[in-house]
A and B are shown apart, each in its own frame.
Chain A
C-alpha cells in the first residue's frame, strides 16, 4: 500500500458567535474573520506539517483547492504545490484543480506542466469540479459544470499529449492555438487522480481512463459501494483494476491509547464536520450541480454532510474518520484494506482545530508504528480482486 499525507489548511480562529450559529462557513462567511497575521503563522506551520509527511516517509503529500471558506486556506493548490516542490522529495498530489471554475483550462495545463518539469516528474494531477458552494463563489452556472469539466479535461490531456499547435473547437472552449509551453516531464502525462464522494458517473469516468479514484468523506458502506463500482466498471472496460487505482482519503488521528485518541479526535472532528463544512443545502448542491436523479435523492434526505450536525463518535464508528492507538489503527486499516481492496491511502492528519504538537505526534506514531506493517498489503502489481465482493 502507498501512503499520502493530506492537509486541509483549516482556519480555526472563528469567533464563538459563528461557531454557535447555523451560519454558513462557505461563500458568505465574511473575510473580516480572517486575520492575516494569524494567517501568516498558520501557513508557515501548515507548510512545515506538509513537509513533515515527506520527512516521515510518506510516498507523497496532498493539497487541494477551495474558495471563500474557513474550511481550507488553499484557493490555489498549484501555489501550495510550488512552495513544497523544493522542500520535498516524494510525490505531490494536487487534489485537485477545479477545472470548470477556471475561465481558461489551459492555465491549469501550463501550471501543472511547470510543476511537473520543475519537480522532476513528481506531480500527480487531480481534476475536480469544485464543490457546489464554489459555483456560488464565482457566480458560475452550475448546470454546465459537468460539461465544462469533461471538456476542460479532454482539452488539457490532449494539450499534454499531442504536439501543438492545434485548434480546439468545443462547446465551452474555442481556441485557435493550443500549444502549451512547457509540456509535462512525465509521459504521456502526470498521473490523474479523481477525488469524489462516489457519484456513479465519476466512478465510471475514472475507471474507463484508469485514473486513480479517491473516495472522500464517506461512511464505510458508501466507500465499499464506490470501490466495488469502480472494479466492476474496470471489468466492463476490459481490465482488472489494480488496488493502487483505488484511493481512500479519511481523517486519521493516532495517540498512545484508544481512549485518548478518540477523545481528542472528537473535538476536531466536530469542528470539521459541524462548523467548517457547514452550509445550507441549496448552497452545497446548487440547482443543476447534481444530476436530477442524484439531486432528488440528496436534497430530499433529512441528513447530510455539512447540512446537518454529525456526532463525532458516530463519525468514527461509521468509518468517516479513524482514531485510536497505533495498534488499533493498524488493525482497523488492515481490516478495511482487506474488505475494500484499496492500495492508496491518503490520511488527513490535520483537520479541524488540531494543534501542531498533536499533529506531529499523530503522524509520527502512524509513520513509525502503522505504516510499515501495512506497506506489504496491496503491493503494486497485486490483482484488484483481493477484495471479494461480499458483505463485510
Chain B
C-alpha cells in the first residue's frame, strides 16, 4: 500500500485535520515509510489467531444506577472557549438555522 499525497489528504479529512500542501508533501513519504515498515505483519501467518484488544480479561464493569454529584457547571464551563453561562456555544451546526 503506497501512501500518496492523495491518501494523506483523504485521511486528514477523516481525522478532521486541515493539512497544508506543504505538510502533505512532508507527511506522505514519512507515513509511507511507517506503514511500509508495519507491512512486515502481512508476511506472518495469523490465520485463526484471536485478536487482543486489551491486556486484561475485561468484563463489563457495572455500578448501581444511582445519581451522584458531578462537577459544578460553572467549573466545567470555565474551561470552554465560548459559552453563554449554561451551554457551550459553537457556530451554527445546520445551515440556515437561526443565528
A and B are interacting partners: no
